[in-house]
Amino acid sequence: MTAFDYAPAIALLPFVSFLVALFGGQYLPKKGALAGIAATAGSLVLSAWVALTVAGGQTYNEALYTFTAGLETFDLHLGILIDPLTALMLLIVSFIALLVHVFSLGYMNDEGETGLPRYYAGLGLFTASMLGFVYADNILMAFMFFELVGLCSYLLIGFNFREAGPPSAAKKAFLVTRFGDYFFLIGVVGIFVTFAGATQTPGLFAGEGSFPVVAEHAIVDGATEGLNTFGFEPQTWFTILGLLVLGGVMGKSAQFPLHTWLPDAMEGPTPVSALIHAATMVAAGVYLVARMYGFYALTPTTLAVIALVGGFTALFAATMGVVKQELKQVLAYSTISQYGYMMLALGSGGYIAAVFHLTTHAVFKALLFLGAGAVIIAMHHEENMWEMGGLKDKMPVTYYTFLAGSLALAGIVPFAGFWSKDEVLYEALIHGFGTEGGLGTVFLVAYAMGLLAVFFTGFYTFRMVYLTFHGEARTETAKKPHGVRWNVKGPLAVLGILATTIGFVNLAPVKKLTGLEVDFLHKWLLGAEGSGWEALLTGYEHYEHVLHDGPAHVLVGEPLGATGTLIASALLSLGLAVAGVLAARSLYKVPEPVEHTDKLGSIKTLLMHNYYQDEYQVWLATGFTYPLSRAADKFDQGVIDGVVNGISSVSLFSGSRVRRLQTGVVTNYALFITIALVVLLVVFGLTGGWF
């Protein structure tokens, strides 16, 4: 037996905890929390075992359950793909889910919340769905679990259903992401139909016969036999398919313009926010791009779109984070912005940088949300930062771990976020300089937006830190905060240490400068000849080959020389981050801070209203679609049904008139008969030629 034989259990264990919590939670001592903790711990152990096996050079790509055996057409199946990317993500998801479960003991159970079985059932199903998504071996299965992740976010965001806000936010989250998934589903269906004639396994992600590889053969080698591209050039058609799938990515990963659900989703309990933002729902979108990167790397247009959307979202969301007053709102916009960085990296050819940032972000964003949760417990569920202040001395564990997370988010050396964000920007920069034509320019524009966002990130992060923890306590609650227990401090401490250190898994710049082999993540994801899993064709070495030799021709350019460019890029991003932190420090690290953002005037109004993105989307739903449906209803009732009723009234009316002939008077009938006979005789006579 190898670890892979137990791989299905990684997702099934949290699913069992879902069932246990749902049906038995009310009889259990911690209302299902312990089942969830046991299940996610089990998943974590199995994921670690899987990761060790993968480290030994083994991978797994098998169909396990035939969903539908197609008769005279293709099969649909559920299967498991485990390569180093999957193994890494499984670890992240099960690890964060475990910590969130433990933290929930403090945030939910200790606070006396009701409906806990439902809560833990939701967490279990959420974790199970995400894990199922992560190791899906084909794009239909990925879509299925992607949708289940959406369901779970609906259930958990709307957890406090007795209030007005959460059900509305839950509905919005599901609807906006489903709008994205609509395009994704067209993409999935399109991929199956396109590749069904060319391969036995049209939806597969990895290996020969998988759709990215078949697409590569079609574009690079011109092997288009059996492909159905609906009359388009393969490259054009693959671009369309890629962009369609990207719709789902932008919905789930909250990329502009489908980011609007995410800040509202803060209505959910805070541990749920940590899970959504760090490891599940929002990560799913970016992970999907990474999962099928071989397909995206083929089409320069999709790369350009991904890079631009990412760079723009990174900047756009960061500017909104600057004016928010509630702790969780700042974090929400930072999430949108950080996932923008990952998209920027993926679009500009920095596959490893994106996965690296996904990893570090999972750690520091989970930390920040759980830290925010600790603050919210302490503040008796007050979330406005202006009601806080001076919490530093009263809750040192929370403060120092939160600080570590903030330094990581701001990208200050040597915390985790510095290394990954620096690599994202560096990759965008060198590929921007190296790639010829419009694509290179797009990379540079996206890079510039990402770079500018670094300043804002440093600013809003430390504005948040200073307002929450420094200065004088501004309210009575902040003077006497509620204490937190081990189940809150424990996860914070673990994440705090990781947020400080996890950047060391990929010290790519250090390797370039000193030659030390310290870029472990790079090696992990490389998949070179002899690594044992090069046949899956999901390693970076293969992607790099596609990027270079495919139509995108992504190349490296270093205008200041290898070392010079590296150092210049790092200094630039670090300098901007520090500048942002210092700006925040000078404005807000004072005993009685004031709302300096008021000086922005109308810009602040614009930012507080999130650039009026919500307004137009709400208008699309309630100002356009709903009136359209009312009009359709009027048309249906009036015209369509009117015709039906009209026909029946005409027959009733004519019936009532014809009835008058039936008078019951025999002489009248005799008259009718005589007239009719005469008429008939005349007619027959005329036609028969009697006259």
Partner 1 sequence: MVAVAALLAVTLLGAIATFLVDDRYAAKFATAVSTIPLVGSVWMYYVYLTEYQGVGNALLSPDTVAFRQTIDWIELGGYTIQYSVGLDGVSMPLLALTGILTTLALVSSWTPIDERQSQFYGLMLLMEVSLIGVFSALDFFFWFVFWEGVLIPMYLLIGVWGGPRRKYAAIKFFVYTNVASLVMFVGFFTLVFSLGDSIATLGLPEITQALVAGEMGSLAGIAVADLKLLAFVLMFVGFAVKVPVFPLHTWLPDAHVEAPTPVSVMLAGVLLKMGTYALLRFNFTMLSDVATGSVLAIMPVAIAVIGVFSVIYGALLALAQRDLKRIVAYSSISSMGYVILGLVAFTPHGMGGATFQMISHGLISGLMFMAVGVIYNETHTRMVGDMSGLADRMPWTVGIFVSAAFGYMGLPLMSGFAAEVFIFLGSFGATDTLGTLAPVLTSIAMFGIVIVAGYLLWAMQRTLFGGYELETDYELDGAAFHDVAPLAVLLLLVILLGVAPDLSYGMIQEAVNPILEIGGGV
198 CB-near residues (< 8 Å, 6+ apart):
214, 218, 224, 225, 226, 227
**Binding status of residue 178 toward partner 1 by CB under 8 A:** yes
Work out whether 158 is an interface residue with partner 1 (CB under 8 A): yes
Per DSSP, helices labelled H in 196-233 are 211-216
User: Shortest Cβ distance from residue 247 to partner 1 (Å)?
Assistant: 11
Which of 64, 640, 650, 679 touches partner 1 (CB under 8 A)? 640
Q: State which of residues 137, 147, 427, 519 lies at the interface with partner 1 (CB under 8 A).
A: 147
Asked whether 389 and 478 are in contact (CB, 8 A), the reply is yes
Cβ of residue 101: shortest distance to partner 1, in angstroms? 22
Residue 249 binding partner 1, by CB under 8 A: no
Of 442, 422, 423, which is closest to residue 552 (Cα–Cα)? 442
Residues 39, 51, 140, 317: which binds partner 1 (CB under 8 A)? 140
CB 70 → partner 1: shortest distance, Å?
7
Q: Is 620 near partner 1 (CB under 8 A)? A: no
Q: Which of 408, 432, 429 is nearest to 420 (CA)?
A: 408
Of the candidates 58, 228, 487, 613, which one interacts with partner 1 according to CB under 8 A?
A: 228
Structure tokens at 675: 């007239």
Q: Which residues sit opposite 62 in a β-bridge?
A: 80
Residues 187-226, mask of contacts with partner 1 (x by CB under 8 A)? --xx-xx--x------------------------------
Q: Max Cα separation, the chain?
A: 123
Q: Is the distance from CB of 332 to CB of 412 less than 8 angstroms?
A: no
Element (H, E) at 68: strand 60-68
Strand ranges in 76-189 using DSSP code E only, listed in sequence order: 76-82
Residue 532 falls in which region: left (phi positive, over 0), alpha (psi -120 to 50) or beta? left
Residue 23 touches partner 1, criterion: CB under 8 A: no
Q: Are 385 and 298 in contact (CB under 8 A)?
A: no
Residue 144 as a binder of partner 1 (CB under 8 A): the answer is yes
Amino acid (1-letter code) at residue 650: V
**Segment interacting with partner 1, rule: CB under 8 A, options 60-68, 85-93, 449-457, 594-602:** 60-68
CB-based contact 462:584 (threshold 8 Å): yes
In the complex with partner 1, the residue whose CB is nearer, 228 or 236, is 228
Stretch that binds partner 1, among 38-46, 67-75, 426-434, 672-680 (CB under 8 A): 67-75
| CB closer to partner 1 out of 1 and 71 | 71
Site for partner 1 in 643-682 (CB under 8 A): 644, 648
Residue 506 CB, shortest distance to partner 1, in Å, is 35
- Residue pointed to by tokens 């440093």: 458
CA–CA gap between residue 310 and residue 341 (Å, rounded): 6
Q: Between 152 and 429, whose beta carbon lies closer to partner 1? A: 152
Give the residue with the Cβ less far from partner 1, 129 or 360.
129
Q: Which is nearer to partner 1, 640 or 677 (CB)?
A: 640
Q: How many CB atoms lie within 10 A of CB 634?
A: 10
Q: Does 2 bind partner 1 (CB under 8 A)?
A: no
The reply on whether position 636 binds partner 1 by CB under 8 A is yes
Q: What span, in angstroms and rounded, lies between the C-alpha atoms of 70 and 76?
A: 7
Q: Outline where 480-519 has alpha helix (H).
A: 486-501, 508-514
- The interface region with partner 1, picked from 39-47, 273-281, 330-338, 637-645 by CB under 8 A, is 637-645
Q: Which residues bind partner 1 (CB under 8 A)?
A: 66-73, 76, 140, 143-145, 147-148, 151, 154, 158, 161-164, 166-168, 170-171, 174-175, 178-179, 182, 185-186, 189-190, 192-193, 196, 228, 230-231, 621, 625-626, 628-630, 632-633, 636, 640-641, 644, 648
